[in-house]
């Protein structure tokens, strides 16, 4: 009986470790996404590859121009 409880605890610990590992990956991914906010990205879902493209800094727009809708952002 003690062995069964020990096994369950070890299995539970492994699950918690995997969960923490996934959380760390998510936090790292989100912080990288925040860092590249001035870049455009294109993702290839088949290979889980994200391509980053430098975007020039925003220039002040002329007031006589019509406002363009925001382009969708690529978040992964």
Q: Record the tokens describing residue 16, joined without a space.
A: 């918690």
Taking the C-alpha atoms of residue 9 and residue 6, their distance in angstroms, rounded to an integer, is 5
pLDDT of residue 25: 87
| pLDDT > 90 in the chain, percent | 20
pLDDT at 72 over 70: no
For residue 28, being part of any structural domain is answered with yes
**Within 13 Å, how many C-alpha atoms sit on residue 48's CB side?**
1
Contact by Cβ (8 Å): 43, 76? yes
Average pLDDT over residues 32-54: 60
Beta strands in 1-76, from DSSP E residues, in sequence order? 39-44, 49-54
Total domains, the chain = 1
75 part of a folded domain: no
Query: Is residue 61 included in any domain, yes or no?
Result: no
CA-nearest of 54, 51, 33, 31 to 41 is 51
- Domain for residue 23, yes or no? yes
pTM, two decimal places: 0.41
Domain hosting residue 42, numbered range: 2-54
């Amino acid at each position: 009986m003690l062995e069964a409880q020990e096994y369950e605890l070890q299995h539970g610990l492994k699950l918690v470790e995997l969960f923490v590992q996934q959380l760390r990956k998510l936090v790292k991914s989100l912080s990288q996404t925040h860092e590249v906010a001035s870049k455009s990205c294109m993702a290839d879902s088949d290979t889980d590859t994200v391509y980053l493209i430098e975007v020039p800094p925003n220039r002040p727009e002329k007031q006589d121009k019509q406002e363009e809708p925001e382009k969708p952002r690529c978040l992964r």
